[in-house]
Amino acid sequence: RSFEIATAPLEADRRRGALVVLRDLTDQLRVAQMRVDFIANASHELRTPLATVLGFIETLQGPARNDAVARERFLTIMRDQSLRMKRLIDDLLSLSRIEGRAHHAPSAPVDLVDVARQITGALRPMATDAGVDIRLAAPAEPVIVPGDRDELLRVVENLVENAVKYGDGGKRVAITVTTRAAPDEPRREGAAKPEAGGEDAGQAASAAPSEAVIEVRDFGAGIPAEHVPRLTERFYRVDAQASRGKGGSGLGLAIVKHIVNRHRGRLHVESVPGEGATFRVVLPLADASHAG
């Protein structure tokens, strides 16, 4: 542990002494280190595609100046790398915007069924291109949570995109929206860290529903257990090469975690390697406080 030691001479009533103040700096140092790591990671993530783009510009101005075929190919690569940089910058901005928002929970009524439908529709073409079938199972009536619609769209979009990207081989992504009574376990403060292991949703089946659950499940390679607790760290990836190759910024789940936290929700991750992964977001229902 690190301590800051401040001393001051003390001279009162002709008695001599010293005042020693010990302040634990461990947390401050950890935060400072995280900031340094974050900037180093972000710079590295931007530098790599930028170096590629610069390299191809030089080639196009030099040896490949009159090669029409090479020009087309290089321009495509340069566009892809530029899009990667743009996505990263957009994600960095989203993250800082969400972090900078006031700490009170967003409270506009948002229909989670509608959110899930919108994302399912928007991502279906991309999923179909990847040979993945997206299915949505949701109640016919709305499931209203207090929240910010754009942020909740972002949560579901990130989770479904990941399921399509990393669930390769599974050929199927299942999205479900349900409501349930809160399990008996006590709520943990700021518990949007991914938690391995399941919850017993059926525990309090007879009580009135107080929580909405949106679940995104894929049937791909899954996530080895040792990685699960770190998934929502910025730039944390199970396989960095694969993530970058799929256009990932490494910030998607960090953004999801922040939004879920702001909504007083929880994020659970369950995965059996080889069988797939399930990401479950639990949010308080709009009328939960009046439900008794």
Per-residue binding letters, 240-259, with ligand ADP (x by CB under 6 A): ---x----xxxxxxx-----
Structure tokens at 155: 């949560």
- CA 291/CA 211 separation, integer angstroms: 11
- CA 139/CA 122 separation, integer angstroms: 20
Helices (H), 101-223: 112-129, 149-166
Using CB under 6 A as the binding rule, whether residue 238 contacts ligand ADP is answered as: yes
Q: In whole angstroms, how close is the CB of 153 to ligand ADP at the nearest point?
A: 15
Number of residues in contact with ligand ADP under rule CB under 6 A: 22
Using CB under 6 A as the binding rule, whether residue 277 contacts ligand ADP is answered as: yes
Q: For residue 29, how far is the Cα from the chain centroid? A: 25
Structure tokens at 226: 């040792």
Per-residue binding letters, 196-225, with ligand ADP (x by CB under 6 A): ----------------------x-x--x--
Using CB under 6 A as the binding rule, whether residue 166 contacts ligand ADP is answered as: yes
- CA 35/CA 29 separation, integer angstroms: 10
Using CB under 6 A as the binding rule, whether residue 270 contacts ligand ADP is answered as: no
Name the amino acid, one letter, at 162: N
Per-residue binding letters, 96-135, with ligand ADP (x by CB under 6 A): ----------------------------------------
Q: Which lies closer to ligand ADP via its Cβ, residue 99 or residue 239?
A: 239
**Any idea what DSSP says for residue 101?**
S
Using CB under 6 A as the binding rule, whether residue 283 contacts ligand ADP is answered as: no
Q: N- to C-terminal Cα distance for the chain?
A: 46
CB 222 within 8 A of CB 268: no
Using CB under 6 A as the binding rule, whether residue 237 contacts ligand ADP is answered as: yes
Strands 276-284, 172-180: pairing is: unpaired
Q: Report the run of H or E that residue 207 belongs to, with start and end.
A: none
Radius of gyration of the chain (CA): 24
Q: In whole angstroms, how close is the CB of 248 to ligand ADP at the nearest point?
A: 2
Using CB under 6 A as the binding rule, whether residue 174 contacts ligand ADP is answered as: no
Structure tokens at 277: 């992964």
Q: Which lies closer to ligand ADP via its Cβ, residue 209 or residue 248?
A: 248
Q: Which lies closer to ligand ADP via its Cβ, residue 254 or residue 286?
A: 254
Residues in contact with ligand ADP by the rule CB under 6 A: 158, 162-163, 166-167, 218, 220, 223, 231, 236-239, 243, 248-254, 277
